[in-house]
């Protein structure tokens, strides 16, 4: 695919997927960064401690999903239509964390299926990722905040054990944080997304990169060099390169045995 063809995927026709054709939630189909990868990452921060108490751990993602679907722990429970837990491959090497379900996600029970999600899929496809095989997608909170407001600290904190358990159970090599809320939830609140996007961090022995939220890209149409879309294109190319590096290193490690 040429550079021009790749960048052409960063635009989204308003009616590309009719709402009536959105998939409905059902059980998601079943399908450590290496030392080399960690050595070559930039801006390494000390690993945070993100342990979940034993009584809040799950034996499987199915168990986690069942618990979340019955969860009433925070103020978002009464107004949700569906609990939105996951989409993609539960064995993916890349895990993407968004902010919270929006209207389409709340109706379908799946994360990132509205316009932002469609754009996210196209961005990933532009560098050859298959979002049904290579990627696992979830949100910081599993229930839609009324009127799509930003989740409160109480809501994100209450829901965080589910997120941390998703990370533990999927065990991805790379985590992408889309937007400020997921950035705050995982890496801390002192960082601004515009300052840190595209940088690699090490967190809990995984490689983490903050990227712009696709809804921000929908509001910024320019594809000029230096624009949010252009910067995101650089970021997903870096993610693909790191992903291939990790795959290559794993293969080399396997051959040693
Ligand atoms: S957002 Fe999370 S903690 Fe709050 S009710 Fe939904 S699943 Fe439970």
Does residue 154 sit within a domain?
yes
Specify the ligand 1 atom closest to the Cα of 77.
5
Does residue 61 sit within a domain?
yes
For residue 249, the model assigns a pLDDT of 81
> What CATH number does residue 224 fall under?
3.40.470.10
Identify which of 227, 18, 193 has the alpha carbon closest to the alpha carbon of residue 98. 193
CA distance 91 to 30: 8
Atom 2, ligand 1: which residue's CA is nearest?
A: 159
* pTM reported for the whole predicted model: 0.83
Distance 181 CA to ligand 1 centre (A): 15
Does residue 22 sit within a domain?
no
For residue 26, the model assigns a pLDDT of 43
Which residues sit with their C-beta closer than 6 Å to ligand 1? 68, 71-74, 76-77, 83, 141-143, 155, 158-159, 162
The total domain count for the chain is 1
> What range defines the domain where residue 134 resides?
3-11+32-256
Q: Which of 25, 138, 158 to mutate to test the pocket of ligand 1 (most atoms within 8 A of CB)?
A: 158
For residue 53, the model assigns a pLDDT of 86
The pLDDT tens digits along the chain (257 residues) read 667 666 666 665 533 433 333 344 443 333 344 343 343 344 434 334 457 888 889 999 999 999 999 999 999 999 999 999 999 999 999 999 999 999 999 999 999 999 999 999 999 999 999 988 999 999 999 999 999 999 999 999 999 999 999 999 999 999 999 989 999 999 986 778 999 999 999 999 999 999 999 999 999 988 999 999 999 999 999 999 999 999 888 777 776 65
Atom 6, ligand 1: which residue's CA is nearest?
A: 143
Identify which of 105, 112, 101, 158 has the alpha carbon closest to the alpha carbon of residue 136. 112
Specify the ligand 1 atom closest to the Cα of 158.
3
Distance 257 CA to ligand 1 centre (A): 44
Does residue 237 sit within a domain?
yes
Does residue 136 sit within a domain?
yes
Does residue 27 sit within a domain?
no
For residue 14, the model assigns a pLDDT of 39
Report whether 132 contacts 113 (CB < 8 A): no
Distance 144 CA to ligand 1 centre (A): 9
Does residue 128 sit within a domain?
yes
Q: Is 24 exposed, middle or buried (0-12, 13-18, 19+ CB in 10 A)?
A: exposed
Which residues are bridge partners to 135 per DSSP? 94
Does residue 19 sit within a domain?
no
């Amino acid at each position: 695919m040429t550079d021009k063809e790749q960048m052409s995927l960063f635009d989204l026709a308003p009616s590309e997927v009719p709402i009536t054709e959105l998939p409905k939630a059902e059980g998601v189909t079943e399908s450590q960064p290496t030392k080399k990868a960690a050595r070559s990452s930039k801006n390494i921060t000390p690993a945070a401690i993100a342990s979940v108490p034993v009584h809040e751990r799950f034996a499987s993602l199915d168990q986690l999903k069942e618990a979340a679907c019955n969860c009433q722990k925070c103020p978002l429970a009464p107004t949700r239509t569906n609990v939105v837990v996951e989409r993609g491959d539960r064995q993916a090497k890349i895990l993407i964390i968004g902010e919270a379900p929006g209207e389409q996600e709340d109706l379908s029970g799946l994360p990132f299926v509205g316009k932002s999600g469609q754009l996210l899929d196209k961005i990933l496809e532009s560098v050859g990722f298959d979002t049904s095989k290579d990627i696992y997608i979830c949100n910081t909170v599993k229930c839609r905040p009324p009127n799509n407001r930003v989740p409160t600290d109480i809501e994100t904190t209450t829901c965080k054990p589910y997120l941390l358990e998703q990370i533990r159970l999927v065990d991805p090599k790379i985590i992408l944080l889309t937007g400020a809320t997921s950035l705050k939830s995982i890496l801390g609140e002192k960082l601004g997304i515009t300052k840190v996007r595209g940088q690699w961090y090490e967190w809990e022995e995984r490689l983490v990169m903050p990227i712009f939220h696709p809804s921000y890209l929908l509001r910024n149409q320019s594809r000029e060099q230096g624009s949010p879309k252009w910067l995101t294109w650089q970021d997903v190319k870096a993610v693909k390169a790191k992903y291939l590096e990790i795959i290559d290193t794993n293969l080399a490690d396997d051959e040693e045995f």
